[in-house]
Amino acid sequence: MRKLASIIVLFYAINFSCFAQLDTVHIYVIGLTCSSCSKSVEEKLIQVPFVKKVNMNLNNNEAIVLVDFSQTVDWRLLANAVVDAGFSVGKMTVPNCSKCSYLFNSKTCKDVYVYIGPNAELDLLHYNLVGKKFLDKKSYKVWLQKIISQGYPDPSSVSYYYYY
């Protein structure tokens, strides 16, 4: 019975998150080794204007960030906060804004994201962002070669985001 109640609560949370314009972002932080490290990342992330709450998971080296999409959102601010805390972003997984009716920074998803993966599955619930501050150096180097070979400019030189 308890499991059923949890599933029902999760169902409503997912369905009504579009109306509340809140959703989670997962940031995989490279270099987290202790609770002090987690605390410093959490303190930097909570200062970002559109961030409502931060939960750190030291076991997974992950920051789970609750984002308010009723405000202007810029993923680079989250990445910069992690870098300012002295760490690197291994990967940033962000919600697919086309699942909800709101606009992303006053633009549609097609104006904000460029898909660079092997399959153009636009029904994904979340995107993995590509960019210098969104991936560790090794992973970014691999994706940079793919992006350039597909005719796209360097992700750090454009205002939109690449995802896969």
115-158 pLDDT, tens digit per residue, is: 887 665 556 778 889 888 888 888 899 989 988 888 888 888 88
How far apart CA 112 and CA 83 sit, in angstroms, is 23
pLDDT in tens, 64-118: 999 988 888 888 899 999 999 999 998 999 887 655 555 666 777 777 788 887 6
Of 88, 98, 94, the closest CA to residue 162 belongs to 94
Better pLDDT: 39 or 146: 39
pTM above 0.75, yes or no: yes
The secondary structure of 13-24 as a DSSP string is HHHHHHHHTEEE
Is the separation of the CB atoms in 134 and 80 below 8 Å? no
Query: In a 3-state reduction of DSSP, which class is residue 110?
Result: helix
Domains of the chain: 21-163 (3.30.70.100)
- 72 Cβ neighbours under 8 A, 6+ residues apart: 49, 50, 105
Which residues make Cβ contacts (< 8 Å) with residue 130, sequence separation at least 6?
116, 140, 143, 147, 155, 161, 162, 163, 164
Strand pairing category for 161-163 and 113-115: parallel
Residue 152 DSSP label: P
Cβ-contact 82, 88 below 8 angstroms: yes
Give backbone dihedrals phi and psi of 6, rounded to 5 degrees, phi first.
-65, -40
22 touches 66 (CB < 8 A) = yes
Query: What separation in angstroms does the CA of 156 have from each of 67, 73, 84, 107?
Result: 23, 17, 18, 19
